[in-house]
Copies of this chain bind each other. A is one copy, B any other.
């Protein structure tokens, strides 16, 4: 295939039109001040006429530096990640970068293949989600870093290797925050409903932080795992089963808002008074949280901001002749650690 009838316009075409060499056109495009105003005008006209669009591949190959940023996230369809990608995309676009995106479906093996595929593009930077990767992935990332490619891990409070950047928050601390909130409201019999996604390490860390803190505060706590599939339906189902089988916990925290809303809807249907009989606490503060059941108490995570910060961090890597410097001290102003906030609404 690809039997183009109309060949694409090249620098040489433009140069011919303008009566100069390709170098002059190339210079005009990148450092217009280095070309005489008169020639510049001719070049500009030629660019207009020919509707030239520079071939990025050729440029990258020749210059050894790309404007493409590769990002791998667990799931594009999850609102927290799609918002992060939107933030990342917005900042990158503003600075003339392009975004290549892959979705791992929470599979580290799939992520490994994607890292390999991405590296073939020699991207300007590599953006990953979380600090958990296969040993071989880590090996590849390390090699990429050694070859000068910045590596960032999003959504976590530490990186897999010290040389990688990270922008996110401490999920165990977030879990602790949730437990503390319950205890401060006087609830003594707690429960945490963890994500049904086995590889959602961050949700599990929140679960751990929650349990540990509850125990430290001398409060009873249990833990349950939601079913996979539609999380709203799973939350509903879970509460239904809970009501049928055992005494209800006084307060339940969820791995995400979707699960919490499912449980809340079921509680409303079953006439369980929230929060009088049972308190509910979500995680994520998704757009509907404030609107439902008098307002779902939850933890606000700066999804869009994480994306933005990652984008800004990557952009900062470009400036300054020494990558090391710009990547270490130059990026000091950007916070690596963000702080989720507990939003106390009606359900707790």
Taking Cβ atoms with an 8 Å cutoff, the residues of A that contact B are 1-8, 51, 53-58, 60-61, 64-66, 68, 75-77, 79, 82-83, 85-86, 89-90, 93, 96, 98-103, 114, 116-122, 140, 143, 146-148, 230-233, 236, 258, 261-262, 265, 287-288, 290-292, 304, 317-323, 326
Contact = CB atoms under 8 A, between A and B. Distances in A.
B265 A287 contact: no
A86 B90 contact: no
Contacts of A65: 1-2
B3 A148 contact: yes
Given A232-B288, A233-B291, A61 B61 contact: yes
A89 B76 contact: yes
Nearest to A121: B56
A329 to B, nearest CB: 14
A89 B99 CA distance: 13
Q: Is the interface of A mostly helix, strand, loop or mixed?
A: mixed
Number of copies: 2
Closest 10 A-B residue pairs measured CB to CB?
A: A1-B323, A4-B148, A82-B82, A57-B57, A56-B120, A76-B86, A4-B147, A6-B146, A77-B86, A232-B291
Contact of A79 (B77, B147, B231, B262): B77
A291 B236 contact: yes
A141 to B, nearest CB: 12
The CB with the most chain B CB atoms within 10 A, among A7, A8, A89, is that of A8
A18 to B, nearest CB: 20
B57 A122 contact: yes
A81 to B, nearest CB: 8
Given A117-B98, A232-B287, A3 B89 contact: no
A314 to B, nearest CB: 12
Contacts of A51: 140, 143
Contact of A58 (B61, B82, B89, B103): B61
Contacts of A99: 100-102
Given A1-B322, A51-B140, A57-B121, 14 more contacts: A1-B317, A1-B326, A6-B146, A55-B122, A56-B120, A57-B60, A76-B85, A77-B79, A77-B83, A79-B82, A89-B102, A98-B117, A101-B101, A230-B287
B317 A291 contact: no
Contact of A76 (B61, B76, B231): B76
A86 B2 CA distance: 26
Contacts of A58: 57, 61
Nearest to A85: B76
A286 to B, nearest CB: 10
Contacts of A122: 8, 55-57
A100 B102 contact: no
A93 B102 contact: yes
Nearest to A6: B146
A140 to B, nearest CB: 8
A127 B146 CA distance: 35
B79 A98 contact: no
B89 A101 contact: yes
Contacts of A79: 77, 79, 82
